[in-house]
Structure 1
Amino acid sequence: MSVKKVFSCCACLLFILSVKAQEIVPGEVWPDDKGIHVNAHGGGMLYVGGKYYWFGEYKSDTTSVALDGVTCYSSPDLVHWKNEGISLPVMPENSYSDIERGCILERPKVVFNKKTGKYVMWFHLELKGKGYAAARVGVAVSDKVTGPYRFVHSYRPCAGFWPENMPDKHRNLSETPDDFKEWWTPEWLAAVDNGLFVRRDRLGGQMSRDMTIFVDDDERAYHIYASEENLTLQIAELSADYQSHTGRYIRIFPGGHNEAPAIFKKDGTYYLITSGCTGWEPNAARLFSAPSIWGPWKQHPNPCRGTGAEKTFHSQGTFIFPVEGKKDVFIFMADRWRPKHPSDARYIWLPIQFENGLPVLKWMDKWNLKDL
């Protein structure tokens, strides 16, 4: 073989390897710069200074409780990831901290506040040893995107406030959960719709479990979370510094049993993708849209297409983020949970496409960002 042909073959091989190195392959092991599978579950994404920063739960091999904290990874291209370490460490055992080692710390999301210059992390928090009874949201702040983040507080949102879209006649009802011997009856569902759990929790604050944070075009930020025993989604406005709530909030789809909210905005319309509540087992995704963050929200059919669409490709959504430098290109992030080996949970990332004016998620064995 001539030198020219050898050079040509080598060039082709290098080109093929280069293309392959840029591929995103859903469901496979994604090694970081140390060759270890990325450990950032239930995560969120933030773009800062030419890099993407991925924050997520650091899972151990045997349990989903928080033994280390929130990890951070950075990447210039969404393919090659550098482990930046633990950005928010949990506190030692017997420290009496809300984020003591062994607590449940899930779905961390980081946003940047332009007014304060602070990076603000929000997360779902369950106090150690109390299962999922606490249903709190936690807040931490940092001067640097990678941390370390300083824990500020945890609490239940909007204590003392009524939802804006809850009629006065429902606020004044006397029914309590103790009045119902059985759940899921028509009478109980009607009571949930009328604010049964909102009234119960009003003074102490609304329950907050699976959650996300969304910063709108005007820099106002919103906390979207599963509330009312995971029966109803609530959308609440954050304070100007993004570290607390203003007390303004609404309920959407009472009794709908939605969790895992992920939101994005395109051409003035807000789109929300959620899942049903089936624990670690996957289910069909749900799609909602609205002309305003405050509604009215409308439900649409399952946005997933292709093999495994009825189970969201055997995963559960966690976040949606825009691709820097590409107009109207958004990536849906999801986790394929493995509760018996939490650290080996896999990631399902898919580009959002549109059909008939609505978002769709089409299964792709692999895809390349440059093709979007």
Structure 2
Amino acid sequence: MKRILLGVIGLLCLCVACLRKDLSFKPGEVWPDDKGVHINAHGGGILRVGDTYYWFGEHKTEGSAGNLAQVGVHCYSSKDLYNWKDEGIALSVVPDDTTSHIVKGCVLERPKVIYNKKNDQYVMWFHLEPRGAGYSGALSGVAVSKNVAGPYSFVNAFRPNAGFWPVNVQELHKQPCTLSADLRFSGGELPAHPDSLNLLGRDQISGQMARDMNLFVDDDGIAYHIYSSEENSTLHISQLTDDYTSYSGKYARFFPGRFMEAPALFKQKGKYYLIMSGCTGWAPNAGRSAVASSIWGPWKELENPFRGENSEVSFYSQSTYVLPVPGHADRFIYMGDRWTPENAIDGRYIWLPIRFEGEQPVIEWRSEWNY
């Protein structure tokens, strides 16, 4: 009888846990899904479909090996942004096919999904590095699905804008490049300014490098891919084709030599904003921000948007997405990752409100909050 009673109590506790509804964000804490498991969607982004939000992110596993893609892209859904249902793996890596770009053990980072009305399909983009190649590939991966939660079918992986010059190209870039096309750097400090090295010219034929990335769909339905390029030294913004699965060939480069990573682009009151980080690997650093009246620039760099204690390390986070607040046209949520590369699966999420002081976006720490 005692065993039965304990079993009933345990079952009741489990039911209470399953029925519990969160009504606030708690940045940096374990964030359980509907099964009571910490949400596994790192480097992610949100897509709203009707009254439902879908969160796509990297599925991490235990240990340092979890920084590589062992499973794929995880998807969760929510009606209120606080409580999330596990929708399963939206895009799976291939277990053993060494001919596939997305074979198990590759680097598959920062997946984002947008909806294409023209073809009535969902399009996923992500930063991809072939297995065993480190970060030398700098490829963009694309997958599509008719269902928002997947499964997604891998389409292709490629370098951006092969054979095209940016709209703001300078004559110096079109001069013969003295660098070997095979010469690569570490992704950190360069021996000279990227324009002096002419990294743009080096990669003009093969396609530009694309690492940390994001997507943005403007009010007119035109979609853009934003990514760190030229050995991470320079940010590129590229217009996508009408079906959102490739590049149109129109792009521009910004902040040459500033090493902007983790770009998150959003629009507020007709102006375009970027929140980004510096380039220090897994280690956090001071955030960066910028504003422009046109997505094609000119972009004006602003201050570190983070304020208060630990602002110099962005509250130990790195930007991944900026989400419009439901029901408030001009309010936004900063979404960041607190990486734990020694045990990748334990990475936490830092979601905080963004306010504005004139043009300057401001992010302040809150241990618990709601919108």
**Fold shared, TM-score > 0.5 on shorter chain:** yes
Q: Which stretch shows the higher mean deviation, 90-99 or 108-117?
A: 90-99
Deviation digits for residues 304-358 of structure 1 (CA, Å, limit 9, x no counterpart): 0122111000010001121232221211100000011100100000111011332
Alpha-carbon shift at residue 93 of structure 1 (Å): 1.5
Alpha-carbon shift at residue 20 of structure 1 (Å): 8.4
2:10 alignment counterpart? none
1:113 alignment counterpart? 116
Of the candidates 264, 281, 284, which is equivalent to residue 282 of structure 1?
284
Alpha-carbon shift at residue 267 of structure 1 (Å): 1.1
Does 1:163 find its partner at 2:170? no
Q: Is the 1:315–1:336 contact (alpha carbons within 8 Å) kept by the matching residues of 2?
A: yes
Does 1:351 find its partner at 2:346? no
Q: Is the 2:177–2:202 contact (alpha carbons within 8 Å) kept by the matching residues of 1?
A: no
Between the two proteins, the alignment pairs up a number of residues equal to: 349
2:46 alignment counterpart? 45
Task: Determine helix, strand or coil for the equivalent of 2:341.
Answer: coil
1:298 alignment counterpart? 300
Of the candidates 118, 125, 132, which is equivalent to residue 128 of structure 2?
125
Of the candidates 213, 220, 240, which is equivalent to residue 211 of structure 1?
213
State the AA in 2 paired with 1:120: V
Task: Determine helix, strand or coil for the equivalent of 2:282.
Answer: coil
Alpha-carbon shift at residue 115 of structure 1 (Å): 1.1
State the AA in 1 paired with 2:60: K
Q: Is the 1:166–1:195 contact (alpha carbons within 8 Å) kept by the matching residues of 2?
A: no
**C-alpha separation between the residues in 1 aligned to 2:252 and 2:227?**
11
**C-alpha separation between the residues in 1 aligned to 2:104 and 2:69?**
6
Q: Is the 2:21–2:83 contact (alpha carbons within 8 Å) kept by the matching residues of 1?
A: no
Deviation digits for residues 78-121 of structure 1 (CA, Å, limit 9, x no counterpart): 11100000000011213411000111100000000111111000
**C-alpha separation between the residues in 2 aligned to 1:53 and 1:333?**
14
Identical residues among aligned pairs (%) = 55
What does residue range 327-346 of structure 1 map to in structure 2 within 5 Å? Answer: 327-346=329-348
Task: Determine helix, strand or coil for the equivalent of 1:154.
Answer: strand
Q: Is the 2:91–2:151 contact (alpha carbons within 8 Å) kept by the matching residues of 1?
A: yes
Q: Is the 2:321–2:334 contact (alpha carbons within 8 Å) kept by the matching residues of 1?
A: yes
State the AA in 2 paired with 1:48: V
> With structure 1 as the length reference, what TM-score do the two structures score?
0.90
Query: Would the alpha carbon gap of residues 225 and 183 (structure 1) be closer, same or farther in structure 2, given more than 3 Å must change?
Result: closer
Q: Is the 1:171–1:195 contact (alpha carbons within 8 Å) kept by the matching residues of 2?
A: no
**C-alpha separation between the residues in 1 aligned to 2:254 and 2:332?**
24
Q: Is the 1:275–1:285 contact (alpha carbons within 8 Å) kept by the matching residues of 2?
A: yes
1:28 alignment counterpart? 29
| Cα root mean square deviation, aligned | 2.2
**C-alpha separation between the residues in 1 aligned to 2:78 and 2:204?**
42
Deviation digits for residues 140-164 of structure 1 (CA, Å, limit 9, x no counterpart): 0000100000000000000000111
1:312 alignment counterpart? 314
2:8 alignment counterpart? none
Deviation digits for residues 122-146 of structure 1 (CA, Å, limit 9, x no counterpart): 0000001111111100000000100
2:13 alignment counterpart? none
**C-alpha separation between the residues in 1 aligned to 2:232 and 2:202?**
14
Task: Determine helix, strand or coil for the equivalent of 1:310.
Answer: helix
Q: Which stretch shows the higher mean deviation, 320-329 or 39-48?
A: 320-329
Q: Is the 2:186–2:231 contact (alpha carbons within 8 Å) kept by the matching residues of 1?
A: no
Q: Is the 1:170–1:195 contact (alpha carbons within 8 Å) kept by the matching residues of 2?
A: no
Of the candidates 229, 239, 242, which is equivalent to residue 241 of structure 2?
239
State the AA in 2 paired with 1:92: P
Query: Would the alpha carbon gap of residues 147 and 219 (structure 1) be closer, same or farther in structure 2, given more than 3 Å must change?
Result: same
Task: Determine helix, strand or coil for the equivalent of 1:364.
Answer: coil
Task: Determine helix, strand or coil for the equivalent of 1:251.
Answer: strand
Alpha-carbon shift at residue 177 of structure 1 (Å): 6.0
Of the candidates 226, 249, 263, which is equivalent to residue 251 of structure 2?
249
1:92 alignment counterpart? 95
What does residue range 11-22 of structure 1 map to in structure 2 within 5 Å? Answer: 21-22=22-23
Tell me, which stretches of 5 or more residues in structure 1 are unaligned?
Answer: 1-17
2:154 alignment counterpart? 151
2:57 alignment counterpart? 56
State the AA in 2 paired with 1:163: P
> With structure 2 as the length reference, what TM-score do the two structures score?
0.90
Task: Determine helix, strand or coil for the equivalent of 2:214.
Answer: strand
**C-alpha separation between the residues in 1 aligned to 2:88 and 2:20?**
28
**C-alpha separation between the residues in 1 aligned to 2:364 and 2:20?**
21
